[in-house]
Amino acid sequence: MEDKYLLICTENLDSFSLLFQTIKKKASFKVEIVHASDILEGKYTKSLKSFRISDIFIAIEGQAFSRLEPSLRDYCNKLEEATPFTNFLYLYKDMSCFEDSGFINGNKQGYILFENDAPLTQAIQFIIFMINLYNKAVLANRLADYIYHSFKEVVYYEMLKKQKMDIEELNKELAKKNKIDNLTNIYNRRALFEFLEKEKSRTLRNLQKLGGEFHIPDNKSSIIQEEENHEEDVIEYFSIFSIMMIDLDHFKKINDTHGHLVGDKVLKIIGNLLQKESIFRDQDIAGRFGGEEFIVILPNTNANNALGPAMRLAEELSKIKFASNDNRTFKVTLSIGISEYHPTDKDNEAIIYRADQAMYYAKEHGRNQIIIYEKVFDK
């Protein structure tokens, strides 16, 4: 906040001198304690010109402002032609501000000072208030001069609405970026665990809606066993989800032979394939688990049905010729392990462990293949 400037006019506010000094000492933005006459005489012209108009606030006693406002506006308008200076903060010593319709309607920015409050406590509260006020001022300054002055009341309402939308959109964007792997542009490990938890909760809720607990055989392969019954059909269609653990075969060799930059390009291409609509559905969730390992969460999909997108992924990858910086081409293959969720799983690690075991089984038995855990380990 070092690029923000606050001028506090002390006229009719002498009893708050200790508070203003505390604000000046603690604030992260520049604070000057002045008399209104100092501003009118141009003593701060040089200092003010080094700041943008939207970053300057003048705080002055609310009831005295009606007399000084025209002169202050004329002076501040000279600082930057064609840009109206509107950043005034009205300070009140009592609750009389509630008699000011402009303050009530939101046309004025106001703050009530309390003489009996501890200076440090009130200074911190004031500084937090000012930081929020500066943020609002930046948004407000983007509005065109004509719109702002011609339709002030309408624009003020729209400004608040836009501010809220901008903040919500920014928060969404930040939240999304915190879940995205920077290299592959798909979800990161933390996001995958969040989605797994949500999918597990959804599954358990659906099972409860279906009317209680289902019997799961000891080998936990309720979906892929040859003898199916109605109970299992319902679970398969309505509740079960699967995950796919994917590992690039011989990735260390790719890095050692062609360099880490080429290895990064390979990972990016895998990330693109995991987002391809011809391979996965919109509701499928792909992410980078770590290094050259990836996970895909497939809602409403049993282990057998997860085999389809896994085969499509392997087939699409087989069509790609990768090239090193010296134009040497090479192929990349995947070892894929699949497992489905078991309602008896105690945590998310259980299904990840099974898919991981299946993936390592694929590697140990020749790589470049897809293994379903329940078919190999739960026979």
pLDDT in tens, the chain (379 residues): 668 888 888 888 888 999 999 999 999 888 989 887 777 676 776 777 777 777 888 888 877 655 555 666 565 555 444 334 567 888 888 776 666 666 655 667 888 888 888 889 889 999 898 888 888 776 666 654 555 555 566 666 777 777 778 777 777 766 667 888 989 999 999 999 999 999 998 888 887 776 654 444 444 444 444 444 445 555 554 558 999 999 999 999 999 999 999 999 999 999 999 999 999 999 999 999 999 999 999 999 999 999 999 999 999 999 999 999 888 999 999 999 999 998 888 888 999 999 999 999 999 999 999 999 999 987 6
The string of DSSP codes covering 254-300 is: HHHHH-HHHHHHHHHHHHHHTT-TTTS-TT-EEEEEETTEEEEEETT
Assign domain 5-142 to a CATH class. Answer: alpha beta
| Equal fold, 5-142 vs 189-376 | no
C-alpha span between 315 and 41 (Å, rounded)? 78
Three-state DSSP class for residue 140: helix
Output the pLDDT for position 107. 66
Burial of 327 (0-12, 13-18, 19+ CB in 10 A): exposed
Output the pLDDT for position 241. 93
Output the pLDDT for position 215. 46
Parse the chain into domains and list their residue ranges. 5-142, 189-376
Please name the amino acid found at residue 366: G
Do 88 and 58 touch, CB atoms closer than 8 A?
yes
Cβ neighbours of residue 259 closer than 8 Å, sequence gap 6 or more: 324, 325
C-alpha span between 70 and 13 (Å, rounded)? 20
The string of DSSP codes covering 321-370 is: -EE-TT--EE---EEEEEEE--TT--SHHHHHHHHHHHHHHHHHTTSS-E
Q: Which helix (H) or strand (E) holds 372?
A: strand 370-372
**End-to-end CA gap in the chain:** 65
Output the pLDDT for position 313. 97
285 Ramachandran zone, left/alpha/beta (phi>0; psi -120 to 50): beta
Please name the amino acid found at residue 312: R
Look up the pTM and report it. Answer: 0.52
Selecting among 292, 315, 349, 364, the annotated active-site residue is 292
The DSSP secondary-structure symbol of 55 reads: G
C-alpha span between 4 and 27 (Å, rounded)? 10
Query: What is the CATH topology of the domain spanning 189-376?
Result: Alpha-Beta Plaits (3.30.70)
Output the pLDDT for position 251. 95
Catalytic, 292? Answer yes
